Amino acid sequence: MLNYDEEAAGPSPSHLLSAGRIQLRLWYDADSAQLTVSLLCAFGLMPLMDDQLANAFVLLCLLPFIDDKRRSKTVHLNNEPSWNQLFTFAPLMQADLPLSSLQLEVMDFQNNISGPDLIGETVIPLSSCDLNDSPVWYELSSERRPVTPTLV
């Protein structure tokens, strides 16, 4: 899993794999000092096992100021889930926006024994975003290695 320091330093792209894309709308309201994140949908999610449908949910965290994670609903058996959920992060002062990043982790919950698996993640520096409520696609990456089938 990428952490905030690795992302800020720029992870080595040679070990990252594409894990799909996620679409968000971001909007900042200076009067109420809050960031609203509209989690829309994902496309082309790559679960750990080939030909497997994901039970996908998203963990959202605003770095480095707010350390509590928000969790989306789970969309069952779908590699192109649609969430259409709103999340609010407040208070967030306008002066803190250039120092903040939004971390998203797309998880796959397959069973109660092993817990959720990370499908992919992204860290979005808010300094590089237009916070105007327009839909934008973001790439998800994963450090996992491709699974190669073995004969038994």
In whole angstroms, give the CA distance from residue 97 to residue 39. Answer: 19
Asked whether residue 65 is domain-assigned, the answer is yes
User: Has residue 24 been placed in a domain?
Assistant: yes
The pLDDT assigned to 13 comes to 52
Which pLDDT score, from 0 to 100, does residue 25 have?
98
Instruction: Collect contacts of 3-11 with beta carbons under 8 A, ≥24 apart.
Output: 4/63, 4/64, 4/101, 4/103, 4/123, 7/101, 7/123, 11/141
* Matching residue, tokens 């996992």: 144
Q: How many domains does the chain have?
A: 1
From the list 67, 65, 63, the residue with the least C-alpha distance to 5 is: 63
In a domain, 148, yes or no: no
The reply to whether 151 falls in a domain is no
Q: pLDDT grade, residue 135 (50/70/90)?
A: very high
Residue 34 included in any domain: yes
Domain of 130, in residue numbers: 4-11+19-142
Render 114-145 in DSSP notation, one character per residue: T--EEEEEEEEEGGGS--EEEEEEEEEEE-PP
Q: For 78-130, write each residue's pLDDT tens digit.
A: 999 999 999 999 999 999 999 999 999 999 987 667 789 999 999 999 999 99
Tokens 């809050």, located at residue = 34
CATH number, domain containing residue 63: 2.60.40.150
Rg (alpha carbons) of the chain, rounded to whole number: 16
**Residue 41 is assigned to a structural domain of this protein:** yes
**Is 147 inside any structural domain?**
no
Give me the pLDDT at residue 150, please: 38
pLDDT for res 47: 75
- The structure's pTM equals 0.82
